[in-house]
Amino acid sequence: MSIAAFSVPLMALYLCGQPSLNTRIVGGQAAPPGSWPWQVSLHIYDHFCGGSLISDQWVLTAAHCVQGRDTVPSLVTVYLGRQRQEESNPNEVVRKATQITIHPNFSYSTADNDIALIRLSGPVNFTSYISPVCLAASDSTFYSGVESWVTGWGNIGDFEPLPSPGNLSEVEAQIVGNGQCRCDYSDQGYIRITDNMICAGFQEGIKGPCFGDSGGPLVSKQGDRWIQAGVVSFGVGCAEPKFPAVYARVSQYENGRNIILKIILRPAQLSGSAEQGKYQICHENQPPDQFYIFQGNNYGRIILP
């Protein structure tokens, strides 16, 4: 971060997007422990990207973080409930990745569809420090100027790592409409802002995601829930003032009443009810998993392969 069984009850047993320890209204800088309980840190020897917990066994991240790593997912270690990258983390739980699924239409050169899923080696119990975020439903709209937050352990400047002990940092951002964002990037000929992207900029000077923040969540509070609108994807430098940061637009991957990430899974894995608030995906020989999706005023649990 630069300072610069299957059918689903409507009310999930554990509600997404409700951190018990987050009382935050404004801020910036180091995040108090438990503020962002869905934030995860991905490691291969060291931290390389962020991600967000969306169920007890699945993590959402950016495709560019894990491209080429999907063949040997076990190289990736996932830290949940982590507050700092150095010293102890009393509330931490560790898992290996057992499956990495990258959006089939992800393009490294255009950053389109920069979204991927990681399956954890085992489910986690939710705590005050580990709990899932809600995902933006396909009908969600994030208007220009909407307040949002982005979190991560990235650099605080192009060549400036997060100072010791590497506390999770948070920064407030405002959604920038795609029209404005296209204009902002129009003289960067090689970058095209697609409908699969959402942009967010920062009010105070130079703030924004930087190297190491990729894959992490952009969240916005709607009512009493935190909803993930974006996945940190790219920017020009680290938060160049003129350029809002660009995120994969989570709502693009939730298709009406179906599951958010159905795109990433084979269509054959999809089945089940289309009833509002009910979602079901089945896969032979696999125990069910659950996703938490925010849809209007309904909070459904999603069962996934």
Ligand X SMILES: *[C@@H]1O[C@H](CO)[C@@H](O)[C@H](O)[C@H]1NC(C)=O
What letter would DSSP give residue 243? Answer: S
Rounded Cα distance between 198 and 231, Å, is: 9
Q: Is 64 a catalytic residue?
A: yes
Nearer to ligand X, 33 or 235 (CB): 33
Segment interacting with ligand X (CB under 6 A) among 62-70, 117-125, 213-221, 238-246: 117-125
Nearer to ligand X, 111 or 200 (CB): 111
- 62 alpha-carbon distance from chain centroid: 8
Rounded Cα distance between 229 and 231, Å, is: 7
How does 54-85 read in b/e, with b if 16+ C-beta sit within 10 Å?
bbbbbbbbbbbbbeebbeebeebbbbbbbbbb
Judged by CB under 6 A, how many residues of this single chain contact ligand X? 11
The answer to whether residue 163 forms part of the interface with ligand X (CB under 6 A) is yes
For the chain, give the number of residues: 305
Q: Residue 146: exposed, middle, or buried by beta-carbon count in 10 A (0-12, 13-18, 19+)?
A: middle
Nearer to ligand X, 253 or 294 (CB): 253
Rounded Cα distance between 58 and 162, Å, is: 27
- Please pick, among 55, 64, 140, 220, the residue that the annotation labels catalytic: 64
Closest contact distance (angstroms) between CB of 105 and ligand X is 4
Segment interacting with ligand X (CB under 6 A) among 4-12, 43-51, 121-129, 197-205: 121-129
Segment interacting with ligand X (CB under 6 A) among 16-24, 61-69, 162-170, 223-231: 162-170
One of 4, 30, 76, 176 touching ligand X (CB under 6 A): 30
Nearer to ligand X, 4 or 176 (CB): 4
Nearer to ligand X, 71 or 125 (CB): 125
The answer to whether residue 89 forms part of the interface with ligand X (CB under 6 A) is no
One of 68, 104, 145, 205 touching ligand X (CB under 6 A): 104
One of 88, 125, 141, 285 touching ligand X (CB under 6 A): 125
| Whole-angstrom Cα Rg for the chain | 18
Residue 16 and residue 222 in contact, taking contact as beta carbons nearer than 8 Å: no
Residue 206 and residue 4 in contact, taking contact as beta carbons nearer than 8 Å: yes
Q: Is 214 a catalytic residue?
A: yes
- Please pick, among 52, 55, 103, 114, the residue that the annotation labels catalytic: 114
The answer to whether residue 263 forms part of the interface with ligand X (CB under 6 A) is yes
Query: Taking the C-alpha atoms of 182, 188, 191 and 196 in order, what is their torsion angle to the nearest 10 degrees?
Result: -20
The answer to whether residue 105 forms part of the interface with ligand X (CB under 6 A) is yes
Residues near ligand X, by CB under 6 A = 30, 33, 104-105, 122-123, 125, 163, 165, 167, 263
Q: Mind telling me the catalytic residues?
A: 64, 114, 214
